[in-house]
A = this chain, B = another copy of it.
Amino acid sequence: MTSRRPIYRDDAGDAGRAGALRKRATINDIARLAGVSKKTISRVINDSPFVKVETRDKIRAIMKELGYRPDPQARGLAFRRSFLIGMIYDNPNPQYVVNVQQGILEAVRDSGFELVVHPCNRSDPGFLEKVRSFVEQLKLFGVVLTPSVSEDDDLVAILRELDCPYVRVASVSLDEAERMIVTHDSEGAAEAARHLAALGHSRVAFISGPPSFRSSYERRRGLAEGLAENGIALQDRYVVEGAYTFDSGVDCARKLLAMDEPPTAIFTGNDEMAAGVYTAARDAGVAIPDALSVVGFDDSPIAARLWPPLTSVKLPIKDMGRFAAEKLIDLARPEGERRSRNPLVRPGLAVRESTNTPG
């Protein structure tokens, strides 16, 4: 490659090359060619109805011919708003993060928007100010918030103050419908409970995520409700607090398995912790699923790669990201023209081989 560099240098000098370094057309070029003012071009760019149809079509043709596309930076400066969508997250699970990103990117494709990612740390005392600065500096068009930052009302207050549109992804509704993607975690957990109850389990344990995540509470609630439907109580002694990490899963499972009357099934707040349960069970000589049933949450790639393959509650994470970004873009339309769809996000249960009748 190195040797080729001069070639591009030369190309740069060659004004005859197709658009190589020839400057891109601007709104002024289009205006001149169309014989109208640049304000009219601006109207066409922004889909204003106040342009004669012939004028509009003529301008569009010229734009197309020159491959003209308005400069987002210049528009942004004049609009006082960029065309960037931010994803703000503080999530220990990378798989979750990429999936949401993929969803947002699908929604954003060919829309003229781009995605800026902004991880953060809620326990950092400067957290709120850093997010404020990020949003303010970039004059973000809007942001997508995922758990647990989506549950932070102080953060949301700042976004409102900055007049920055946002959509929150969370396990329960925390805001107006047009600003929420609700994931109904409790329903997924309830389904896991029904599955275990149907197999005959009554000593069911729960390893929760950290209390700073609303999902920890919702997943527990769903489990308790699903069990209750079948006349089974979720006993406090069978509920232990993990941290959504592999290691915490190992620790919690060790405690549960060391009990005098250990549970016959463990439901974990996510798959990472379920993987930890596998390790603890192996160390304790407890066979899955014959001596112990395990159900995870997320249905992440690891679920199918564990042995035995893990039964897990599945959330359409990528879709959630896409829906969130679509809502955000929708928020930009004049109120009358909003599509205002409220896509259904429902958890399901991916049943594999980690559950069986109680040993």
Contact = CB atoms under 8 A, between A and B. Distances in A.
Interface string A252-264: 0000000000000
Interface in A110-126: 114-119
The copy count of this chain in the complex is: 2
B21 A161 contact: yes
A91 to B, nearest CB: 10
A99 B94 CA distance: 8
Contacts of A306: 305-307
Given A84-B116, A114-B138, A246-B304, A157 B8 contact: yes
A12 interface: yes
Interface residues of A, number: 59
Nearest to A159: B8
B98 A94 contact: yes
A160 interface: yes
A345 interface: no
**Interface SS of chain A:** helix
Interface in A305-330: 305-307
A176 interface: yes
A102 to B, nearest CB: 7
Interface of A: 1-2, 4-5, 8, 11-12, 20-21, 24, 69, 71-74, 76-77, 82, 84, 94-95, 97-99, 101-102, 105, 114-119, 133-134, 136-139, 153, 156-157, 160-161, 163, 174-176, 246, 275, 278-279, 282, 301-302, 304-307
